[in-house]
Chain A
Amino acid sequence: AQSVTQPDIHITVSEGASLELRCNYSYGATPYLFWYVQSPGQGLQLLLKYFSGDTLVQGIKGFEAEFKRSQSSFNLRKPSVHWSDAAEYFCAVGAGYSSASKIIFGSGTRLSIRP
């Protein structure tokens, strides 16, 4: 069965600094990987996804993520964070239609921005 680990519960970075949020997954085949963002009191919004092809994926709001099969990782990066990036970020792994399209979410990383 697939699983997702986000080792950082809470991260604080200064505005303008670079950001990397870690995500490790466990799945026997090629996974489908996602990053979602949740602002306070809101639902989840998709930032980016990886299904196949280029392992560096570009998303919305200036985010990118890199799939590294050898490390079972899908870390999220942004070169310069803005105060509006403060939110909770969820990594997720899906196994495709063979498992009825279920997606497993990590427990989330809360990002705070220091002025």
Chain B
Amino acid sequence: NAGVTQTPKFRVLKTGQSMTLLCAQDMNHEYMYWYRQDPGMGLRLIHYSVGEGTTAKGEVPDGYNVSRLKKQNFLLGLESAAPSQTSVYFCASSHWDRAGGSSEQYFGPGTRLTVT
């Protein structure tokens, strides 16, 4: 199993450009998440999904959109990139555990995005 994979690994955008980050998981997990990681701020949740065709806002959703058309994929879009979106983006997935709700999250390797 590849686990959680992210594409691309690195990207440089100019202000105003758009792009889509792809996350794929092969563990048949119901839940998927997008985070951004900035120095000294830990991970902040951007959007998440509790199943195919559903998405919800996290802590810092502004400037981002997401889609989950297939259970194994979760896309993060930036319609008009801004320098404030320079960050490392992590995707994660988890399954539903009857005892504890969501299980632990499994993370991808990250995408380093720079907006100039």
A interface, CB within 8 angstroms of B: 9, 32, 34, 36, 41-46, 49, 51-52, 90, 94-98, 100-103, 105-108
Contact = CB atoms under 8 A, between A and B. Distances in A.
Given A32-B100, A34-B104, A96-B100, 16 more contacts: A9-B40, A44-B90, A46-B105, A46-B106, A51-B100, A90-B43, A95-B101, A96-B101, A97-B102, A100-B50, A101-B48, A102-B48, A105-B42, A105-B43, A107-B41, A108-B42
Contacts of B50: 100-101
A43 B100 contact: no
Interface in B2-56: 4, 31, 35, 40-45, 48, 50, 56
A94 B45 contact: no
B96 A97 contact: yes
A102 to B, nearest CB: 6
B40 A107 contact: yes
Q: Helix, strand, loop or mixed for chain B's interface?
A: strand
Interface residues of B, number: 28
Interface of B: 4, 31, 35, 40-45, 48, 50, 56, 58, 90, 92, 94, 96, 99-102, 104-110
Contacts of A41: 110
Nearest to A6: B42
**A-B CB proximity, top 7 nearest:** A101-B102, A96-B101, A97-B101, A43-B107, A107-B42, A51-B100, A105-B42
Contacts of B109: 42-43
Contacts of A36: 107
